[in-house]
Amino acid sequence: MTRKSLLGGGAIGALAIAIASVVSADIGDDEQLVVNGEIEMIIETAAPDHLEGHLSTIYSGWVFRSDETQAMQADDFDNPAFIFVDQAVDAFNTEMGAEGNSCASCHSAGDFADTRPTYPQWDAEHGEVQTVEMQVIECQTERMGMEEPYAYDSQAMRNMVALIASEGRGQVMNVAIDGPAQSTWEQGREIYYTRFGQLELSCANCHEQNYGNNIRADHLSQGQINGFPTYRLKQANLVSVHNRFRGCIRDTRAETFSVGSPEFVALELYVASRANGLTVEGPAVRN
């Protein structure tokens, strides 16, 4: 006797639904993320046009996390990332470099609302695509006279980028992928779909084809970076985009690109563009 006749068609249908609901346990159950009771986040929306044929809906990494982790992000007091943002506020107002300037000499709070949503972006003066980190280094070396600017993935840099991101929270990601940035964007897309490492995995294998499924005891997200820099409970610290890229590629057992490399800048631009339409959440809380 076949399994089908044992169970009957209706039971098969119910079983399929049950399995589907396990797989997508955290997706689409009408959750909403409102931070501090005022910043409404878009955690699910139609994918940008350039993802046609790949994804129809994009989800923030927030929807894949457990209720407890999600709750931590809804209030800045509960979000441990704001310990580091507080430290960045102090650094922001501290003089650094030979010119005797602090960040606050030129910038004031609220200036950076459009920064995280639009970076990485093309910098005409330098003729390259720049990330927020590169912009900070540029300021420190060219305008503040610092001999030793923040290292790309240093604690001070992650804190500062988290502060900048926090001002853009609630803004819709809108990274430009055409014009002079297009070739870099295409390079990033190439990297995204290239299989790396002994396990021969591309970014897309997990984050496009298997999001919502389990990877060991965890749900795979779509790998969106609108919540970066992210406070990871596992590290009890902020994690930068490039550090996360490096960790992912390392897990494929590959030799990774280095943090701050042109390859990772290109990949960051491409991955950021996949989140066009979601809101900036950084610094988010993830496990």
Q: Give the number of residues in contact with other proteins, rule: CB under 8 A.
A: 6
Q: Which stretch binds other proteins (CB under 8 A): 42-50, 80-88, 108-116, 193-201?
A: 80-88
- CB-based contact 78:37 (threshold 8 Å): no
Looking at residue 31, its amino acid is E
Assess 68 for contact with other proteins (CB under 8 A): no
- Binding test (CB under 8 A) with other proteins, winner from 77, 124, 217, 234: 77
97-to-101, 103, 136, 163, 164 alpha-carbon distances in Å: 7, 11, 13, 20, 20
Name the nearest CA neighbour of 44 among 285, 183, 222: 222
Q: Residue 275 to residues 13, 41, 48, 261: CA-CA distances in angstroms?
A: 34, 13, 8, 21
User: Catalytic one among 103, 203, 206, 248?
Assistant: 248
Query: Cβ 231 to other proteins, closest distance in Å?
Result: 11
Which long-range contacts (C-beta less than 8 Å, at least 24 apart) are formed by 20-25?
23/212, 23/213, 24/212, 25/219
Report the C-alpha gap between 271 and 43 in whole angstroms. Answer: 16
| Residue 82 C-beta: closest distance to other proteins, Å | 8
**Shortest gap between Cβ of 86 and other proteins (angstroms)?**
5
Tell me if 86 contacts other proteins by CB under 8 A: yes
Q: Which of 83, 106, 109, 151 lies at the binding interface for other proteins (CB under 8 A)?
A: 83
The residue range among 8-16, 78-86, 112-120, 195-203 that interacts with other proteins, by the rule CB under 8 A, is 78-86
Minimum Å gap between C-beta 80 and other proteins is 6
Q: At 245, which helix (H) or strand (E)?
A: helix 241-251
Beta strands in the chain (DSSP E): 34-35, 39-40, 44-46, 57-59, 121-123, 128-130, 214-215, 218-219, 230-232, 237-239, 284-286
Residue 271 and residue 191 in contact, taking contact as beta carbons nearer than 8 Å: no
Residue 141's region, left for phi above 0, alpha for psi from -120 to 50, else beta, is alpha
Task: Check if 248 is active-site.
Answer: yes
Choices 62-70, 76-84, 125-133, 269-277 (CB under 8 A): range interacting with other proteins:
76-84
Q: Of the two residues 88 and 271, which places its CB atom closer to other proteins in the complex?
A: 88
Identity of the residue, 77 or 179, whose beta carbon is nearer to other proteins in the bound complex: 77
Site string for other proteins, 223-242 (x = CB under 8 A): -------------x------
Which of 45, 87 has the CB closer to other proteins?
87
Does 38 bind other proteins (CB under 8 A)? Our answer is no
CB of 244 to other proteins, least distance (A): 21
Q: Which of 24, 45, 69, 87 binds other proteins (CB under 8 A)?
A: 87
Torsion-angle region of residue 156: left (phi > 0), alpha (psi -120 to 50) or beta?
alpha
Tell me the catalytic residues.
248
**Interface residues toward other proteins, by CB under 8 A:** 77, 80, 83, 86-87, 236
